Amino acid sequence: MKPLIIGKHTVPYPLVQGGMGVRVSAAKLAGAVAKCGGVGLIASAGLALNSPYKEDHKYFEADVLALKEEIRKAYEIAPDGVIGVNCMVAVTNFDDAVRASCEAGVKVVVAGAGLPMNLPALTEDFPDVALIPIVSSVRAAKLIAKKWHKSYNRMPDAVVVEDPDTAGGHLGEKMENIGTGEYDQYATVRGVKEYFLETWQLDIPIIAAGGVWDRADLECALASGADAVQMASRFVCTEECDADYAFKQAYLDCTQEDIGLIMSPAGLPGRAIKGNIEQIRAHDVDGDISCSSGCLKKCSYKKEKERFCIVHALDRAQRGDRDSGLIFCGTNAWKANKIETVADIFAELFDD
C-alpha cells in the first residue's frame, strides 16, 4: 500500500480517521491515529460544551478556545503527525472554526454537512493547509471545483466520497434516496477521480468513506479505485477514543437492527443507534429545554422546538448518557466486539 499524500503532507498509511462530534474524536483519538501513521481528525462541533471554557465565555468563544486546546493536545501526542479538523458547513461558526484551526496549526481541513464553497477564502493565509471537501456525488465535486477555481484559483487537495448507505452521522443525501440500492459508492469514487484527471489534469487522492471496517474492506476500497479510506466507527471502541466508556459500550451492545436513520434538526438525515430517539425528544421538548448555543445555521429545534437539540444530545451521549444522548454510528457499528487500541487496528489493517 502506498503512502497517502495530501497537498504538502504525507502519512505512511492510506487512512483518514473520520471526524465524530461532539468530542467523540478529539485530541486523544486524533493524536493516536496520527502517531500510528494516519490522518487524525478532531471534530470541531460542540467542543465548548464539555470544556473548562464554557463557564467563563459565551458559547462560540468557548468553542474556539476548546478547539485550539484539542489541537494543541493532539500535537503533544503526535508532534510530527498529520493532525486535521473536521468542520461542518452547517454550523453557525463554520468560518471561525476553520480560521481557528489554521491558527492552531492543523495540516488538513475536512469540510462536510454542506458544500464548503468559501473554504479557500477562509484559509488563504495558510496555503500549506490541505483542503478536503466531503461529497456524495460527482455533481457536488464539480460544483466545488468550478467555484473554487473561478473565485479563488484553488482546487481541493483531496476529496472524500461518503457513502450515504453506510456512513454514520449526518449524511449528504435526501432521506428518500438512502438505502434504495441505487447508489454505487465506488462508481462515484471513480467518477470523481476521472473528473479531476480529465477536466483539471489533477491526480488528487479520492478517499472512500462509509462501510470500511476491516482489512478486507480496505483492500476492496483500494482495488475499486479509492486512494485511501476514511474510517470513523471502527475507532470508537478504542482505549484512545475520547467518548465515555458507556458510549463505547453502546456500540458493543448494539445489533444490526438497532442502527437506522433519523432526521436531524439540521435538516439532514443521519445514521444512529435509534432506539432512544423518543427519549431524546422527550428530554428536550417535554423538558422545555431552550436552545442555549445556536450552534446550527438552520435548526428546527432552535426555530420551532421540533425533534431535539442535537448538539446537547450528542454531548450527553459523549459523557455517557445512553438514555437521552444521541449516538451516531455507521452501519458496521454492530461488529464491534471488544475494546482495543488504535495501534491494534493499524496492525490489523496494515501489517504484512
Q: What is residue 35's DSSP assignment?
A: H
Nearest CA to 65 out of 104, 34, 32 is that of 104
pLDDT at 334 (0 to 100): 98
In a domain? residue 172:
yes
- Domain co-membership, 284 together with 307: yes
For a pLDDT cut of 90, what percent of the chain falls above it? 89
SS3 labels along 253-279:
HCCHHHEEEEECCCCCEEEEECCCHHH
In a domain? residue 326:
no
pLDDT at 297 (0 to 100): 86
Whether the per-residue pLDDT at 162 is higher than 80: the answer is: yes
In a domain? residue 329:
no
pLDDT mean across residues, the chain:
95
Question: From CA 38, how far away is CA 11, in angstroms rounded?
Answer: 6
CB 109 within 8 A of CB 131: yes
In a domain? residue 202:
yes
3-class SS of residue 45: coil
For a pLDDT cut of 70, what percent of the chain falls above it? 100
- Domain co-membership, 345 together with 303: no
In a domain? residue 332:
no
Question: From CA 294, how far away is CA 63, in angstroms rounded?
Answer: 12
Strand order in the sheet with 259-263: 169-170, 269-273, 259-263
pLDDT at 332 (0 to 100): 97
Considering its fold, how many domains does the chain have in total? 2
pLDDT at 293 (0 to 100): 80
pLDDT in tens, 11-50: 999 999 999 999 999 999 999 999 999 999 999 999 999 9
- Domain co-membership, 311 together with 343: no
pLDDT at 156 (0 to 100): 98
- Domain co-membership, 218 together with 281: no
- Domain co-membership, 214 together with 265: no
Confidence of residue 138 (pLDDT cuts 50, 70, 90): very high
- Region label for 119, one of left (φ > 0), alpha (ψ between -120 and 50) or beta (otherwise): alpha
Largest CA distance in the chain: 55
- Mean pLDDT of the region 174-193: 95
Class of residue 352 by CB neighbours under 10 A (exposed 0-12, middle 13-18, buried 19+): exposed
- Domain co-membership, 76 together with 56: yes
Nearest CA to 128 out of 161, 147, 160, 154 is that of 154
Confidence of residue 150 (pLDDT cuts 50, 70, 90): very high
- Domain co-membership, 218 together with 147: yes
- Domain co-membership, 217 together with 302: no
Query: Domain of 33: which CATH number?
Result: 3.20.20.70
Whether the per-residue pLDDT at 312 is higher than 80: the answer is: yes
pLDDT in tens, 276-299: 999 999 998 888 887 778 888 888
Rg of the chain (C-alpha set):
19
- Mean pLDDT of the region 143-170: 97
pLDDT at 287 (0 to 100): 86
**The dihedral of CA 233, 138, 156, 195: what is its sign?**
positive
- Domain co-membership, 256 together with 276: yes
- Domain co-membership, 9 together with 62: yes
CB 136 within 8 A of CB 164: yes
pLDDT at 57 (0 to 100): 86
In a domain? residue 328:
no
In a domain? residue 99:
yes
- Domain co-membership, 237 together with 314: no
Confidence of residue 272 (pLDDT cuts 50, 70, 90): very high
Do the bridges between strand 269-273 and strand 169-170 make them parallel or antiparallel, or are there none, so unpaired? antiparallel
Backbone dihedral angles phi then psi of residue 284, each to the nearest 5 degrees: -90, -50
Q: pTM here?
A: 0.95
Do the bridges between strand 4-6 and strand 9-11 make them parallel or antiparallel, or are there none, so unpaired? antiparallel
- Domain extent, residue 73, equals 4-243+337-350
> H-type helices in the chain, by residue range?
27-36, 59-77, 94-104, 119-122, 138-152, 185-200, 215-223, 245-253, 277-281, 300-304, 310-318, 342-350
Structure-block grid coordinates of residue 62: 468557548
pLDDT in tens, 72-86: 999 999 999 999 999
- Domain co-membership, 85 together with 208: yes
